[in-house]
Amino acid sequence: MAEIQALSASTPEEVEQIRIKYLSKKGAISLLMNDFRSIPADMKREVGQKLNELKNAANDRLAELRENLASNAEAAKADIDLTRTATRFPMGSRHPLSIVKNDIFQIFGAMGFTIAEGPEIEDDWHVFSSLNFPPDHPARDMQDTFFISRSPQDILLRTHTSSVQTRTMESQKPPIRIICPGRVYRNEAISARAHCFFHQVEGLYIDRNVSFADLKQCLLYFAREMFGPETKIRLRPSYFPFTEPSAEMDISCHICGGKGCAFCKGTGWVEILGCGMVDPNVLEACGIDSKEFSGYAFGMGIERITNLKYRVKDLRMFSENDVRFLHEFDAAR
C-alpha cells in the first residue's frame, strides 16, 4: 500500500508504465486477483477486501498523477508570456579609450609602426636623464612626477611613455619604427580636465635621412585618418628637452570646420599632440650614432583624442566605470 502511495511520475509515459506494472492484465495487482480463487473460503472475505483496497488505491494514485501532470503543463503554459520583452544577454563592450587606442594602432600600423611596451614603474634614466633632461633643471618640473624612492636611484611612476622609446633604442638597432601606448602618471589635482593618470601613445621613427617633412606627412596622414579627410594640421614651435626642433600640432576644428566655435574657443584650431626631431643627445645617450641616424618622435594623450572625437566633458568619467557611460559607446565598435 505504502509502495503505491509513494509512486511518482513526471511524464505521461511514466504514468502509463505504472498502470501497466500494477493494473494491466499481467500487472502485479491483477496477478494477485487471479490467485484469489485458491484462497481458503474462510479468508476470502478479508483478502478480497484488501485486494479491492489495493486496486482502488492504485487507481486513485494514477488519477492523481495524471491530474498533477496536467496542471503542471497548464502552469507552464501560463508562464510563457509572449508579450514580455526578451531578457537581454548582458554583453560587454569596449572602453572608449580602447576604441580610440585601437584606431591609433590601425592608422600607424598601416604606416609600418609596431607596438612597443615598457614598465610603468621606471627609473630616472629612462624617463628623464636619457631624454636630455639635465639634473635639477626646471625642465623636470614640466611633468609633475610621483617619486617612489629617491636613493640610491630615483624610482618613479613614468610621466610619459618616452621611456619605452629609450628602452627600445638601447636594445635595437635602427631602423626603428614604434608606437608606445600606456598609462602615465602626473601629480595633478584631479578635476574635470586633469587626472593623476592618463594614457598616451608616443611614436618614434629612426633611420638614415629622416627629416621634418617625413614627420609632418606622417602626422597629416594620422590626422586625416582619425578626424576625416578634410582635416588640416598646423605646427607651432614649442619646447621639449628630447626633441629639437620641437612643435605642438593643432588640427583644424572638426566641429566648426575651422570657422571658429565655442569648442575651439573661436580659433578654428585644437591642439592634439607634441612632436619634434629626436635631439642628437638622446640618440647618443642610447648608443645610436647621431651623425648616421636621425629621427622624429611624437606623443599624444588618448583621453584628449577621445574627447575630441566623442566630446566627453569630464575626464573622470573614463575611470569611474559607470556602465551607463560605457554603454554610450556600444555602437562605436
Residues near ligand PHE (CB under 6 A) are 160, 162, 202, 240, 243, 274-276, 297-299
Alpha helix locations (H) across the chain? 2-5, 12-23, 28-34, 41-79, 96-110, 124-127, 162-171, 212-227, 280-285, 302-310, 317-320, 323-327
Shortest distance (Å) from residue 195 CB to ligand PHE: 14
Residue 96 or 274 with smaller CB distance to ligand PHE: 274
Q: Report which residue's Cβ sits closest to ligand PHE.
A: 299
Taking the C-alpha atoms of residue 288 and residue 283, their distance in angstroms, rounded to an integer, is 5
Contact yes or no for 243/276 (Cβ under 8 A): yes
Taking the C-alpha atoms of residue 294 and residue 211, their distance in angstroms, rounded to an integer, is 8
Shortest distance (Å) from residue 306 CB to ligand PHE: 17
Shortest distance (Å) from residue 299 CB to ligand PHE: 3
Q: Name the grid cell of 306.
A: 577621445
User: Count of CB atoms within 10 A of residue 313's CB?
Assistant: 9
Residue 206 or 297 with smaller CB distance to ligand PHE: 297
Residue 27 or 280 with smaller CB distance to ligand PHE: 280
In 3-state terms, what secondary structure has residue 135? coil
φ/ψ of 148, rounded to 5, equals -100, -45
Shortest distance (Å) from residue 327 CB to ligand PHE: 31
Residue 181 or 274 with smaller CB distance to ligand PHE: 274
Residue 212 or 325 with smaller CB distance to ligand PHE: 212
Residue 122 or 202 with smaller CB distance to ligand PHE: 202
The alpha carbons of the chain give a radius of gyration, in whole angstroms, of 39
Grid cell 507552464 in the structure block, residue: 76
Nearest C-alpha neighbor of 168 from the set 182, 150, 185: 182
Shortest distance (Å) from residue 209 CB to ligand PHE: 19
Shortest distance (Å) from residue 303 CB to ligand PHE: 13
